[in-house]
Amino acid sequence: MAAKIRRDDEVIVLTGKDKGKRGKVKNVLSSGKVIVEGINLVKKTSEAGSGPEPTGWHR
């Protein structure tokens, strides 16, 4: 049985494009997945709107 992973634990990525990177757990999802600080960041664009929201690239 694997050890329990909790918020603020230091972890190392074992597989994938981020293999070997270290990070701190930000959130543990109910599906058993975790969100790790600084790992697998996704860029997203937002279109111009009439509101005060910024436009362009966001992480």
32-55 mean pLDDT: 73
The rounded Cα 17 to chain-centroid distance in angstroms is 14
pLDDT recorded at residue 44: 63
Q: What share of the chain is helix, strand, coil (3-state, %, to 5)?
A: 0, 30, 70
* Contact status, residue 33 vs residue 39, Cβ threshold 8 Å: no
Position 55 pLDDT exceeds 80: no
User: What is the CB neighbour count within 10 angstroms for residue 36?
Assistant: 21
Euclidean distance between the first and the last CA atom of the chain, given in angstroms as a whole number: 34
Q: Whole-model pTM?
A: 0.60
pLDDT recorded at residue 49: 63
pLDDT recorded at residue 56: 61
Position 58 pLDDT exceeds 60: no
